[in-house]
Amino acid sequence: MSAAATPVARRRPRVGRLNNLLVIVLVLIAAYVIIAIPSGDQAQQQFVNAVTIGAIYALIALGYTMVYGIIELINFAHGEIFMCGSFVSWWLLTTLGFSGAISDPILLIGVLILAFAVSMVVMGIVGVVIERLAYRRLRNAPRLAPLITAIGVSFILQNIVFVVVSNSIVTTPQIIPNTQLALGPISINLINLFVIVLAVGLMVALQLFIGRTRLGRAMRSTAIDRDAAQLMGVDINTTIALTFFIGSALAGAAGVVQGLYFGITVFNIGFQAGLKAFTAAVLGGIGNTTGAALGGFVIGFLEVISSVWGQGRWSEAVVFGMLVLVLVFRPTGILGQQLADRA
């Protein structure tokens, strides 16, 4: 057993990572050029839009991918969690009496923290309750059963909002002032900067949580082998509930962003947003958190590119055409189907 001592690690060579970075930079430059050709002096604004929309899709896609990673369920109710999150934040902001931009920075920061905290916690709890009531007892049932249940849950959530709140588009307070900032050569609106920084921050935090912490290891081990995880002392029910909490909280955050950025929401907004985020998750390799984030940004760019080239008529067709192409030619996605894996 002592023979043939090989030196410690076989890590990924640094050159590989550099190459990846180079590829990302080249792709971004290409995207910028493609956006710039038809949009002229609007190019920079459109580029920022793409990143912003991509960040929203990425936040939603993470929930799809985490839940799939741990219980192999495509949680079709996840888009509705995003929708409900947008309504929680609408309710909170209007109840507090806000209708437009808040100019006092301290107050603005306080209200933002409150809105995100409330929406994320409420939607996290809703996600946990849904898992407990609708999915848990179907954990060992044939795959179609929880899938259909998820579609049912999605209708229930839509109808609750439809009946209890509103059956038409509601206007949400855009509390972040419309201010153009200059970051060196880049001119960016405060709201875009806020959304991008927030989303990237949440994604980095999630990645560190999954990769570096004890609970993150519990989640990964449960995703890989539920029985083996139990033999290590992992309570898989709690771990799966935690996964639903985190995924739903991220969708709740995306819901708040929806209101702040677009200024509107509606009871059926979760359907299409959810489907696009699902496309992002599949594109990145479902079950893979890094892939979901990447897929979100790809979808953001696809949507903006197709809208600047086709005046908006084609963006849905392009995004869902992409879903079909990926499912047919590379069903494991860009980064492969590595359940709840590390970057």
Partner 1 sequence: MTAAAGAPAPVDNPGGVPLLRAHDIHAYYGHIHALQGITLDVFPGEIVTLLGANGAGKTTTLRTISGLMHPRTGTITFDGTDITHVPAHRLVTRGVGHAPEGRRIFGRMTVLENLQMGAYTRHNKAELEMDFDRVFALFPRLRERSSQAGGTLSGGEQQMLAIGRALMTRPKLLLLDEPSMGLSPILVEQIFDVIRDIHAQGTTVLVVEQNALMALGVAHRGYILQTGRIVLGDTAANLRQNPEVQKAYLGG
The binding site for partner 1 (CB under 8 A) comprises 1-2, 5-11, 214, 217-218, 220-221, 224-225, 227-236, 338-339, 341-342
Q: Hey, what amino acid is at 336?
A: G
Minimum distance of partner 1 from residue 13's CB (angstroms): 14
Collapsed DSSP state (helix, strand, coil) of residue 139: coil
Spatial CB neighbours of 192, under 8 Å, sequence gap ≥ 6: 48, 49, 51, 52
The separation between CA 86 and the C-alpha centre of its own chain, rounded to angstroms, equals: 14
CB closer to partner 1 out of 14 and 214: 214
User: Smaller CB distance to partner 1: residue 229 or 299?
Assistant: 229
CB of 226 to partner 1, least distance (A): 10
CB nearer to partner 1: pick between 86 and 222: 222
b or e along 177-192 (b: 16 or more beta carbons within 10 Å of the residue's beta carbon)?
Answer: eeeeeeeeeeebbebb
For residue 235, the minimal CB distance to partner 1 (Å) is 5
Closest contact distance (angstroms) between CB of 298 and partner 1 is 24
Tokens of 12: 């990924």
Question: 49 to each of 90, 108, 299, how far by Cα in Å?
Answer: 22, 22, 12
Rounded Cα distance between 170 and 266, Å, is 6
φ and ψ of 314, to 5 deg: -105, -5
Report the nearest approach of partner 1 to the CB of residue 183 (Å): 38
**Which lies closer to partner 1 via its Cβ, residue 192 or residue 222?**
222
Tell me whether residue 11 or residue 95 sits nearer to partner 1 (CB atom): 11
Measured CA to CA in angstroms, residue 58 lies from 12, 25, 108, 239 at distances of 26, 19, 25, 22
**CB 331, min distance to partner 1, A:** 19
Nearer to partner 1, 206 or 304 (CB): 206
